[in-house]
């Protein structure tokens, strides 16, 4: 009799006060990000709650999952993809509406401005073209579903420049290669800011050879002001642990990095990323 009464009491308490595990399960956000016009999945979308250091990246099929935390209802989930308008949705609305499909609107097509270079343009390499022996930096995603991004400030000295290629030093003891996205950001007070180029440049890069180069000529990118170039590691669905790779570095200057989608950039003094761009000026 006493056992039956105790069992009923425990059951009543469970119904009145759900366990923290049950609450965490209820707030799991997941779904697929698609183009609003074509309904096609958008790969590698950056998804996060800004200024909270919480984010993830959609996979190659546009699918994602994110556990926003203990008190997510006051937060807003933001979706950011190259070539699309940024979408922000209150977490409360996502949960209430049981939303699992998120549609992004394409940005209007902007014609590339024609830049006339001098009569005898020169080929130059801008950035850090060497690495110091035994000097490396490490980059690690906070969790297996999120990004790790490094950036380098490139000075063009006020000259109209066509970007021909970019080169970076990457190494890993865990994998032969990984997928990276090449990003371009405006320089705002010495830190990466808004995207400068609305072109999705995703490449599988070797992590064994050291120096690797990405051809930029097919994209017709011209710049006139100093900018940041970013190398964003994109998570692999086959990778179940936090991915770790090393990048070449030199002493002096700053390293710019972030390891959360849409997270704040952090600056570390004392070294620079071994990366450069080849331009025609």
Indicate if 247 and 193 belong to the same structural domain.
yes
Indicate if 146 and 47 belong to the same structural domain.
no
Indicate if 270 and 157 belong to the same structural domain.
yes
Indicate if 132 and 259 belong to the same structural domain.
yes
Domain boundary among 104, 136, 160: 104
Torsions phi, psi for 126 (to 5 deg): -115, 130
pLDDT at 270 over 80: yes
Indicate if 135 and 239 belong to the same structural domain.
yes
What is the spatial distance between Cα 59 and Cα 66, in angstroms, rounded to a whole number? 12
> Could you tell me if residue 53 is inside a domain?
yes
Q: What digits encode the pLDDT tens for the residues 42-65?
A: 999 999 999 888 999 999 999 999
CATH code for the domain in which residue 163 is found: 2.60.120
Indicate if 136 and 262 belong to the same structural domain.
yes
Question: What number of residues does the chain have?
Answer: 281
Domain boundary among 104, 138, 157: 104
Contact 148, 140 (CB under 8 A): yes
What is the spatial distance between Cα 47 and Cα 45, in angstroms, rounded to a whole number? 6
CA angle 89, 232, 69 (to 5 degrees): 40
Query: Considering the entire predicted model, what is its pTM?
Result: 0.85
> Could you tell me if residue 109 is inside a domain?
no
Pick the closest to residue 273 from 236, 248, 252 (CA basis).
248
pLDDT at 217 over 90: yes
For residue 6, give the 3-state DSSP assignment.
helix
CATH code for the domain in which residue 67 is found: 2.60.40.1120
Tell me how far the alpha carbon of residue 234 is from its chain's centroid: 7
pLDDT of residue 89: 97
Query: And the tokens for 227?
Result: 């900018």
Indicate if 141 and 59 belong to the same structural domain.
no
Indicate if 80 and 129 belong to the same structural domain.
no
Torsions phi, psi for 166 (to 5 deg): -135, 145
pLDDT of residue 134: 86
Indicate if 159 and 242 belong to the same structural domain.
yes
How large is the average pLDDT for residues 72-84?
92
Q: What digits encode the pLDDT tens for the residues 146-163?
A: 999 999 999 999 999 999
For residue 131, give the 3-state DSSP assignment.
coil
Domains in the chain, number: 2
> Could you tell me if residue 115 is inside a domain?
no
Half-sphere exposure of 105 (CA within 13 A, CB side): 6
Domain boundary among 71, 104, 137: 104
Position 22 confidence tier, pLDDT thresholds 50, 70, 90: very low
- Count of other CB atoms within 10 angstroms of residue 29: 21
Burial of 158 (0-12, 13-18, 19+ CB in 10 A): exposed
Indicate if 65 and 144 belong to the same structural domain.
no
Tell me how far the alpha carbon of residue 240 is from its chain's centroid: 18
Pairing of strands 29-35, 101-104: parallel
Indicate if 164 and 270 belong to the same structural domain.
yes
Sign of CA dihedral 42, 83, 229, 221: positive
Query: And the tokens for 72?
Result: 């997510």
Q: Which domain holds residue 47?
A: 2-104
Indicate if 7 and 90 belong to the same structural domain.
yes
How large is the average pLDDT for residues 201-206?
96
What is the spatial distance between Cα 191 and Cα 185, in angstroms, rounded to a whole number? 9
Terminal-residue alpha carbon distance, the chain? 89
pLDDT of residue 136: 86
């Amino acid at each position: 009799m006493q056992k039956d009464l105790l069992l009923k009491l425990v059951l009543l308490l469970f119904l009145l006060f759900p366990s923290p595990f049950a609450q965490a399960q209820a707030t799991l956000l997941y779904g697929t990000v698609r183009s609003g016009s074509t309904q096609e999945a958008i790969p590698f979308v950056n998804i996060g709650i800004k200024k909270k250091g919480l984010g993830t990246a959609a996979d190659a099929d546009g699918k994602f999952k994110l556990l926003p935390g203990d008190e997510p209802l006051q937060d807003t989930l933001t979706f950011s993809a190259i070539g699309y308008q940024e979408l922000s949705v209150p977490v409360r609305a996502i949960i209430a509406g049981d939303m699992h499909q998120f549609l992004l609107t394409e940005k209007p097509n902007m014609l590339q401005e024609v830049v006339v270079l001098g009569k005898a343009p020169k080929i130059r390499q801008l950035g850090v073209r060497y690495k110091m022996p035994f000097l490396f930096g490490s980059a690690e995603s906070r969790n297996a579903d999120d990004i790790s991004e490094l950036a380098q400030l490139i000075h063009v000295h006020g000259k109209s420049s066509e970007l021909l290629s970019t080169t970076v030093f990457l190494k890993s003891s865990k994998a032969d290669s990984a997928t990276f996205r090449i990003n371009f950001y405006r320089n705002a007070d010495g830190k990466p800011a808004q995207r400068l180029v609305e072109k999705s440049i995703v490449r599988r890069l070797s992590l064994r050879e050291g120096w690797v180069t990405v051809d930029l000529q097919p994209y017709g990118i011209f710049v006139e002001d100093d900018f940041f170039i970013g190398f964003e590691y994109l998570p692999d669905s086959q990778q179940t642990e936090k991915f770790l790779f090393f990048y070449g570095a030199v002493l002096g200057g700053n390293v710019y990095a972030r390891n959360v989608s849409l997270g704040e950039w952090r600056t570390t003094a004392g070294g620079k990323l071994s990366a450069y761009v080849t331009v025609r000026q």
